[in-house]
Structure 1
Amino acid sequence: MHRQLIARRALLGALLTGTFFAAPGVGADGFSIERATWSTDRDRLVVRGEGADDDRVTVVNAYAPNQVLGSDRIDDDDWRVRTRSPSPVPCRIRAILSDGTTLERDVRRAPTDCAPKSASEPPPPVPDITVADVVASEDSGSMTFVVSLSVTAEQAVSFEYATRNGVAQADDDFIEANGTLTIPAGSLSGNITIGLVDDTVSEPIEAFTLELSSAENAVLADSVATGTILDDDSGNPPPPPPPPGTGLSINSTSANEPLAGLPASPVPSNDLLNSGTHALLVANDLGMHCADLDYQIFSILPPFNVVHAQVLLRGEEPQILDDTTIDVVYSATSSDNDPALANKTAAQRGEPVFKGNFWEEMAVLNDPGTTLPLWYQVYSPLFFGLLQPADLVQDQGLPVPESMKLAGNGIEPSCLTTADPRAECQLLQAWMPGNLDPYVVNDQQRFDRFDHDVNFFNGLLGGLGLGAVIPDTNWFAAEGVAIMPVDDEGRSNAYPLMRVQAIDKATQQVVASTDVVLPVASEADCQSCHARAMDCATITQETYGYTMACTEEALDRHDLADLGGVMTLDGDDLGALPPGDTLEQRLLNTAKINILRTHDAKHGTTLDSRRRVVCASCHYSPALDLAQLGPTDSAATEQTQHISMSRAMHGHHGDLFAKDNATASLFPNMPAPNDPIRLQPVANHLDLYPLAGDSEQTVEEYVLQQSCYSCHPGKRTDCLRGAMASAGIVCQDCHGDMLAVGNDFSHDFPNNAGNIDTGKRVPWAVEPGCQSCHVGDATSQPGDTSGFIYAADSIRLLRAYRTGDVDATPIRATGSRFSENRIVNDQNQPVDVLYRLSKGHGGVMCEGCHGSTHAIWPNGNPNANDNVAAIQIQGHAGTISECTVCHETDQLSASTQDGPHGMHLVDDRRFWREAHKDAAKRENGRPNGGTCGSCHGSDHRGTVLSRTPVDRSWSVESRNRTVAAGEPVGCDVCHSLDKSFER
C-alpha cells in the first residue's frame, strides 16, 4: 500500500510539474522507451519499452500531460501501451515510471496535425457544470436547484435553463420557467428556484425535469435534474430503498485480477449528458446472451453481446440519423439501485476476480510444444480459416462479418468466395471499455457499424421463406462485445449496464445518453446431473449466495474406467485434478470433463483427450454461424453428419427418465397455462411429478426449473424477467416443451448427411412473435380461433401455439395491429420477420420502444437495471409511450391517430380536453366503435389495451380525474358513457 501511495504521488508530480529531467529514451535501471509509433491505417499509437518487473509505466502526451494515453505493468522486462483514436495524436510522448522517473520520445510517423507541437503552459482548467436533483413538498411553495462548478472560473459562467414536463405538468403542478443563469467569476455555484402549485387534490408523487443548455466558459457535465414533488394531501410512501450492498457494480473489463491488484475505487462512469434535441433508443438484441466462464474443457458459447441503437433528431417528424452525422459510443456504468449489489464480491469470498479465461494462452493438449490462446483453440473451427491467432487480445471480441457481404445479399457474390475474404467480409471487432488498462480506465468504444439493411440468412433460408435481406433497419450496431457476467469487484451480475452516447460529428458534443443492459449469464447447471452431490454441496449460501443440489443422474455409466473414471473435486481414478482458479470454476470443470467422458464412452469419440472443444463443430448452431453457411463440413467440422445443437440438447434430454424410476421424466412437461394445477403446490401432485419429493414449489416453478432452467440461466439469473414473466408466462408457453423445441430439421443427418427436413423447425429462424399471442385488439380477432387459449381479457392469448400442436408451431396473426413485419424476399417468398429484426412507427426498431426479447419492458422489480433505459428516456418504466420522447407534440395535429399501433397523442391536454370529442363522434358511427373501440372496448369502459403505465390526472370541468397506474382508461372516467356514444 505504501509503495502504491508513493507511486501515485510520483505520477501526479510528473504530470503537473514542468521542471524535471526527461531523457530522450533511456533511463537508469534499464527503464527505456524502445519505440513510439503512430499507424494511420490502424488509427493506433503503440509505445513499447523495457524496465524492472512489476513497476507500472504511464504514458502521456509530453506537451499536454493531462492527456493520459494508457499504462502497463512491466512483465518479463517489457511494457507496452496501445491506444486507439487518441485526440489529438501526440507529437511527442512521455513515459512515467512508478517512482516518478520520466523519459520522452518523439512519435515516429506522427501525422502533420499532431498536437501540441511544443511544450507550453497548461491552460486553466475548464469548469464542469452539474445540477442536483431536488425533492420538495408541494406546500413548500418552491424548490431550488443548486448548480455547481467543479472549479472556480476566471470568467463568468452562463447557461440557459428550462423546465420540461414529466408526470408533473406546468401550471398544474409547477410554474414553467426558462432563462439564463450567470455564475460570477470566482464563484462555485448558483441557484434556480422553481415555483410549485399547491392544491387540495390527492395526487401521486410527480416529477418534472430542469434542463441546462448553451453553456459559456464551462462544460455541461450533468445537464438534467429531476424535481420530485411530494403531495401534501395524502401520505405517499417513499420510493423503495436500494438493495443492501456496498460499492458499485460496474463491468468495464473481462480481464481477471488478483485481489491485491484491484484499485481502491471502481472505474469512473462517463457523464450522463442529454441536450434535449435528440432521442437515443438502445436495446440488446436477444435479452440474454450466455458465455462459458472456462474454455479449457469445452465451450457452448463465447462472450459475444450485441447492441443496437437508433438516434432520432426530435421534431414534428423526427429523423433517424445515420453515421454521416452521428457517432455512437458505449462505456461501462452502474446503477445505485442495482440488485446485484447484494451479491458477494470476490474479496468477501476470499477469491481473485475471475471473469473467464477466453484470452488465456495454454498449451495445445495433443501438441504440448505449441501454445495458443484458448479462444483460438476453441473457436477457429467455426471461422473456416478466417481466424488467426493474433486476431484477438484481452477484452477484444470475435470478428464479425458485414452481413450484407454474405451469401444472398442481392448485390454481389458472397465475400467468402473472394480472393481475400478477411478483407472483403469487412470483419469488425468490439472492445470492452477497459481494454487499454483493465480496472483503471473506462474508455468510450465506438459502434463500428451502421446497418442500413441486414442480411438474415437470405442465401441459406430465403428459399424456405425463413431468410431475407431486412430493409431499412437503420441502426448502429456493436457486435461481439466480449462482456462476462462478473463485475469489476467479482460479483455475479448478469445485467451489467453500458452507457450508450450519441455524439454530433460536427461539434463532437454528446447529444443523448441512455444506459442499457448487456445481459450475459454463465448459469448452465451441467453440475446438477454431471457432478458429484458432495462436490456441489461445497457451494454454500454463506460464501456464494446460493446453493446447488446435484442428483448424479448422469454419473451411472460403468464404462468410464479406461477414460479416468468420474472426475470429482478430489480428482479422478488417475489422480488428475479438475483445473480452475476458483471453487466454482473447478466444480464446473468436473461436470464438463464428465460430459466429455460420457460422450466418448457412448459415441467412441476422443474429446476428453483433446479438450478445447466447441460443441458446434459437430452439432450445428445458427447462433454461432456468423458466416451464414448452414451446416458445413471442413477439416475441423462435421456439422452435416450429426444432429444440431438444439436437437442434441432439447431432443436428447427431453426424452430422459430417472435412473431409479423409469416412468419419471427428468425434464417434465409444463401443464397448459389454463390448467389450474400450475399454481398449486407440486407436493400435491407427486403422482405426476414423483421426483419433486418435499419441494415447496408450485407445479409451474418446479417444472420450469427442472426443464428449461436446468440449462438456461433461470434459477439465479431469471432470464425470462420482463412483462411476460410478470404476467405468468413461462418458456413453454411460447416455445413448447423440450421435445417440440428439439424436433428440428437435422433429425436425419446421422443417416443421410446434410438431409435437411424443410418441414421441421429451424432454430433461430422459426420463433414465436408478438402476433402469436397479441392476435388482435378489443374489436378485431382472427376468424379461426381453434386451439387458442385466451386470457381473461379475451384479447390476448396465454400460449403462442394451438392446443394439440405437438410441434408448437407459432401462430401467425399477420392482420393484427401488433404483428411483426412481413416482407417478400428476393426469391419471391413471404417472410415473417422476427421481433428483434422488425420495426414500427417511423421506422423505429420494435425493441427500441418495447425492450429486448425475453425482457419486454417493464421488469417487475422496480430496481432492475432493465428499467433504467426507459426511465431515463421517458421518466418511467415500461414501453416507450410518451410522444414527447421523439416529437415536439405541439407541432402535431391534436387529433392524430398515426402513433404506434394506431395510437392518439398520450397525456396531451389538447387531445383530452377537445380533440378526442370530435374523434369519438367520428368513430362512433363506424363498426365496433371504430378506432376508439379497438383499445377502449366497444363499451368504452376501457380494456387492457388502454391501461396507463403511470398515474395520470386530468382537470375536466373544474374537477380532477385520476387513473392509477395499471388501470384502464375508459370514457366514464370523465363523463357518462351515454355522452361517449354521441354522434
Structure 2
Amino acid sequence: MSVHLSVFRLLLFFSVLFAFTTVSALTVSPTSVQLVVGNTANLTVSSASGAVTAASNNATLASVSYANGIAIVNAIKAGSVVITVKDKKTSKRVVVTVKAPPLAVSPASVTVAVGSTARITVSNVVGTVSVVSSKTAVATASYASGSVTVRGVKIGAATLTLRNSKTTLTIPVSVTANTPPPAAGNYTLLAWNDLGMHCMDGLDFSVFAILPPYNTLHAQLKDKAGALVSSNVKLTYEAVADSTGSINTSSYQKTNFWDEVGLLVGLNPAKDIGLNLDGLATGNPAPGNETPSLVPAPMTYNAGYRWYEAEGLPITPFDDAGKKNFYPTVKVVAKDMLGNVLATTTTVLPVSDEMTCKGCHASTTSINPAQIAAKPAAGWVNDTNLEKDWKRNILRLHDEQELSTPLFQSALIKMNYKTTGLLATADSGQPVLCVGCHASNAYFDKQNKKTVMGGITGIPAFTQALHIKHATVKDPATQLILDSIGDRSACYLCHPGKTTQCLRGAMGKAIDSKGDSLMSCQSCHGNMAAVGNAARQGWYNEPTCESCHNSAAPNKRALSGVNASGIATVPTDHTFATNANTPAAGLNLYRFSTGHGGLQCEACHGATHAEYPSSHVDDNTQSVAVQGHTGPVAECTACHKTVPTTVDGGPHGMHTTGDAWVKSHEKANKKGTTTTPSCAYCHGTTSAGTPLSAIKIAKTINAGEFGSKNWPAGYQVSCFSCHNGPNPD
C-alpha cells in the first residue's frame, strides 16, 4: 500500500508540476501577422519567466522592440520574416508577412478645364505603371516619375485606368468649360484654433503624460452673398512665418512623443502625424493629421458642425530655429475644384509646454516652504535629466500617498502597471498615462460626443483631483494659498503661463487706469476650489458668455460667471449667449456654438482665451485682413458684398450699421420686443452711448439733414450723435 501511495504522490507531483508549467509557459498572440509596409502590429506576450527578448531574423524587412508585455513589430519592406520571442525557458516564433502597400493616387477624382492640366500623385508604385483614358477626345493622360498628367480636351466625362503589376485603379475625370478664375473678394475665409491655447506637458513623455501635442484647426468659408460654402471647394493648411519671421514646419525631432505614444495609448501614428480622438470612443479613430509644413495638407469638412477641420495637429512650441514660440502661424487656403484660389487667411495655432509643475516638484536644495511641502518623504529623485526629474518626483509622491490603498492597487493591476507603484512602472520603461485612472473630458471625441478617457470608478476625475489637491497649497513666489481669488498667477503656476500669457484676449488684457488687470482667470471660472468641485465636470461645465454679458450685470463684468460649485450661472437674457445643449445635451460650450449666418462664435470673436482683440499681434492678423481693424469681425462688408438692411437680423439681433441705417432706424421698435433688445441695451438708458455702441474704426456717416458726421475710432454712437435730444420729433 505504501508503494501505491508513493506512486500516487509521484503522479500527483508531476501533474501539479505539469499544470504549473502549462499555466506559466510563455505565450505570444497572435502567432502570425500580415502587415503593410509602414504599419505596426502589437504582439501580446504573457506568462513570461524572467527577462524577455524579441528579435527579427531580417530587420531590414521588419524590426521588433519589446517592453512591458508588448512586442511591437514595424513593417519596413515587403517580404517574410520570423520574429522570435524568448524568455529563460521558452522560445516562440511568429511569422510576419510584409506586403507592399497598394497602389494609391491623390486626388481620387479630377476636375479639369478645357485646355488645362491637372496632376495626380501616384504612390506605392511597384513595377511598370500605365494609364489609359476611356475617352481621349475628352481627356488625355500620361504617367511619368510618380505622377499622372491629365489634360482637358473638351467638355465631358472620362475614366482613367491606372495599372501596375498588382493593382488596377479607376479615376473619374470631369472636363469643364474654360471659365475665368473667380474674382478676388467674392469669398471670406475665417480660421481659428478651438481653445486659444493647447498645452503639452514638456518634451519628455517617457515618465508620464497629461496632454499630448494635440492642436485643432477649424475654418469656415462664406461667399459674399452671406452663405456658408460646404461643397466643391478644397481647404488646406500649411506653415507660414509669423510677424517675427519664426516658422514651425515639423515636430518629430523636437519631442520623444512618437517613441512613447504606443506604450501610452496603444496607437502608433507615423512621425509628424498626430492622434485623432474623433471616433475613438467606438474604436474607430479618424486618421491623424500631420504637423503643418511647407506642403499644404488637406482639411476635411464636418457636416455636423458645418466647418472644415484638421483635428489633433501635433505641433510643438519650438520653431525650426530651435527657439520657443508659443504662437506658430498657419495659412489656410480655399480653392475651387479647378485649383483657383477663392480666399486665404492666416491664423495662430498656439501651443505651450509651460505647465510649471517643476516650480514645486523639481528636485532642489531650497528651503522655500511651498517647495518643501512637495518633497517626497523618501527625498527628491535628483534626476540629472531636468525634463524627467519633476515628473519622477510627482510619481514618487503619488506612490507614497496612495500605494497602500486597495483602490490604488486595483488600478495598478487594471492598467497593467507594476504593483510596486507608478515610479517603478515608469522606471521600467512603461510611461504612465495619468488620465488612464483619472477621467478627463479634455480627451473629447466630438464625433461620439463623449470622453475617451473615462477613468476608473472611485478615482476622482483629473480636473477635480488636481484643483482640490492644490487649492490649499502655497504659491512658492508669494506664499499665498492658491485658492486665493483674483490672483491670476495662481492659475499660471500650472496653466500656461507667465510667459505664454494664455489669457490674452479682450477680457484678459483689460486694465484699469493704474495698469492693473481688471480680470483674472477666477473672474470667469471661480477660485480653485470651485473649479475642482465634485459637482462640476471639467471641460464640460464652463462659464457661458451670458454669465457675465447680460442686462442684469451692467458694469459688473469682473464678477465670477460661476457659482460656488463651479457651475455657470445662466441668466434669462440670451442676447450674447452660447447655444444650449451644444455639443451635447446639458452642455453649452462657446467653442461649439454658432451665431449669425451659421458662423461659429469663434469665427468672429476669436478662440477661447484669445478673443479679439488679443494682446498678441498675430492673433489679430485675420480680423485686420477681413475688416481693416482688430476686434470681433463685425463690419457687414467683411462677409457681404451688399450690406443688407435689417432691424434685428444681424449678429446678436443687431441692426444694419453705417449710412444704410440712417433712414432705416426710424422704423425700429425703440423699446424692443421679447426677443430683440431695445435701443437702450447698446446705446444706454440716457441714449449717451455705451461700449456696445462704440465703433471700432473711424467713420464718416451721411446723416442726411443732420449733415456729415466724422466719428473717431472708439466713439460711442448715441441719439445725441445727430439729434439735439433723444428721439426728437
Match of 2:550 among 775, 780, 805: 775
Indicate the residue corresponding to 2:71 in structure 1.
none
2:442 is matched by which residue type in structure 1? Answer: A
Aligned equivalent of 1:567: 381
CA contact (8 A) 1:616 1:639 kept: no
1: distance between equivalents of 2:206 and 2:675? 63
Q: 1:514 to 1:632 in 2, by over 3 A?
A: closer
Task: List structure 1 runs of 4+ shifted beyond 6 angstroms.
Answer: 658-661, 924-930
Cross-structure match for 1:304: 214
Match of 2:603 among 848, 869, 879: 848
Give the match for residue 523 of structure 1: 354
Structure 1 residue 818: deviation in Å?
0.8
AA in 1 matched with 2:238? S
Partner of 2:423: 608
| Distance in 2 (alpha carbons) for counterparts of 1:550 and 1:867 | 42
Q: What letter matches 2:207 in structure 1?
A: I
- CA pair 327-603 structure 1, distance change in 2 beyond 3 A: same
| Residue 320 of structure 2 corresponds to residue 488 of structure 1 | yes
Q: How does 1:545-564 map to 2 (within 5 A)?
A: 552-554=371-373, 556-560=375-379
CA separation of 1:928/1:944 partners in 2, compared to 1, >3 Å: closer, same or farther? farther
TM superposition shift of 1:609? 2.2
Amino acid aligned to 2:625: Q
Give yes or no for the alignment of 1:763 onto 2:545: no
| Contact 2:583-2:592 within 8 A present in 1 as well | no
Correspondence list, 1:407-446, <5 A = 416=282, 421=283, 425=284, 427-434=286-293, 442-446=294-298
- On the 8 A contact 1:306/1:478 being kept in 2, the answer is yes
**SS of residue paired to 1:720:** coil
Deviations 1:574-593 (A, max 9, x none): xxx42xxxxxxxx2321111
Structure 2 counterpart of 1:888: 641
Tell me how far apart the structure 2 counterparts of residues 845 and 721 of structure 1 sit (CA, whole Å).
Answer: 20
Is residue 2:514 matched to residue 1:716?
A: no
Name the % identity: 31
Q: CA 1:718–1:297 in 2, change beyond 3 Å: closer, same or farther?
A: same
Taking structure 1 as reference, are residues 354 and 396 closer, same or farther at Cα in structure 2, changes over 3 Å only? Answer: closer
Matched, 1:670 2:485: yes
Partners of 2:605 and 2:546 lie apart in 1 by 14
Q: Deviations over 1:536-556 (max 9, x none)?
A: 9xxxxxxxxxxxx99633453
So what's the TM-score if we normalise by structure 2?
A: 0.68
1:770 partner amino acid: C
Instruction: Report the counterpart of residue 589 of structure 1 in structure 2.
Output: 388
Does 1:278 pair with 2:77?
no
Distance in 2 separating the partners of 1:107 and 1:851: 51
Query: Counterpart of 2:709 in 1: which secondary structure?
Result: strand
CA contact (8 A) 1:835 1:846 kept: yes
- Partner letter of residue 557 of structure 1? P
Distance 2:190 2:357 in 1: 37
Q: Output the CA distance in 1 between the equivalents of 2:728 and 2:286.
A: 60
1:499 aligned residue (331, 340, 343):
331
SS at match of 1:651: helix
What displacement does 1:824 show? Answer: 9.6
3-state DSSP of counterpart to 1:514: strand
1:857·1:877 contact (CA, 8 Å) conserved in 2? yes
- Conserved 8 A contact 1:769-1:835: yes
Give unmatched runs, 5+ long, in structure 2. 1-35, 39-59, 62-100, 108-117, 134-139, 150-177, 404-419, 511-517
Q: Which amino acid aligns with 1:310?
A: Q
Counterpart CA distance in 1 for 2:545 and 2:222 is 25
> Cα RMSD over matched residues?
4.1
Q: Given the superposition, is the C-alpha separation of residues 919 and 718 from structure 1 closer, same or farther in structure 2, using an over 3 Å criterion?
A: same
Alpha-carbon separation, structure 2, partners of 1:953 and 1:943: 19
- Tell me the distance in 1 between the aligned counterparts of 2:279 and 2:672: 52
Residue 46 of structure 2 corresponds to which residue in structure 1? Answer: none
Q: Structure 2 residue aligned with 1:966, among 714, 720, 725?
A: 714
Q: Deviations over 1:821-850 (max 9, x none)?
A: 225999xx6x35211111111211111111
SS at match of 1:332: strand
Q: 1:765 to 1:643 in 2, by over 3 A?
A: same
Residue 798 of structure 1: aligned partner: 558
Secondary structure of residue in 2 paired with 1:818: coil
> Which of 810, 820, 827 is 2:578 aligned to?
820
Give me the whole-angstrom Cα distance separating, in 1, the residues matched to 2:123 and 2:441: 48
User: Which of 673, 676, 687 is the equivalent residue of 1:940?
Assistant: 687
- For residues 153-198 of structure 1, give each alpha carbon's deviation from its aligned partner in whole angstroms, at most 9, with x where no partner exists: xxxxxxxxxxxxxxxxxxxxxxxxxxxxxxxxxxxxxxxxxxxxxx
* Structure-2 separation of matches of 1:83 and 1:335: 35
| Preserved CA contact (<8 Å) 2:289 2:310 | yes
1:652 to partner: Cα distance: 0.3
Change (3 A) 1:278 1:941: same
Q: Distance in 2 between matches of 1:534 and 1:598?
A: 17
**Contact 1:527/1:550 (8 A) holds in 2:** no
Which residue, 106, 125, 130 being the options, matches 1:85?
A: 106
Q: Residue 737 in 1 paired to residue 527 in 2?
A: yes
Q: Residue type of the partner of 2:648? A: Q
Query: Secondary structure of 2:715's match?
Result: coil
Once the two structures are TM-superposed, the CA of residue 795 in structure 1 deviates from its matched residue by: 5.2
**Partner Cα separation in structure 2 for residue 447 and residue 801 of structure 1:** 35
Residue correspondence of structure 1 range 301-380 to structure 2 within 5 A: 301-315=211-225, 318-322=226-230, 324-337=231-244, 355-359=254-258, 373-380=259-266
Give the equivalent residue in structure 2 for 1:295. Answer: 205
TM-fit CA distance, 1:289: 0.7
Distance 1:115 1:215, change over 3 A: closer
Q: SS at 1:116's partner residue? A: strand
Match of 2:509 among 726, 729, 746: 726
CA shift, 1:641, in A, is: 3.3
Q: Answer yes or no: is the 8 Å Cα contact 1:878–1:949 preserved in 2.
A: yes
Spell out, residue by residue over 1:287-327, the C-alpha distance to the aligned partner (whole angstroms, 9 max, x if none): 11101321111111001111221111211xx22121x3222
Contact 1:529 1:550 in 2 (8 A): no
Are 2:219 and 2:307, in contact at CA under 8 Å, matched by a contact in 1?
yes
Alpha-carbon distance in 2 for matches of 1:927, 1:298: 53
Give the partner amino acid of 2:142. Answer: P
In 2, Cα distance between the equivalents of 1:938 and 1:620? 48
Aligned length: 557
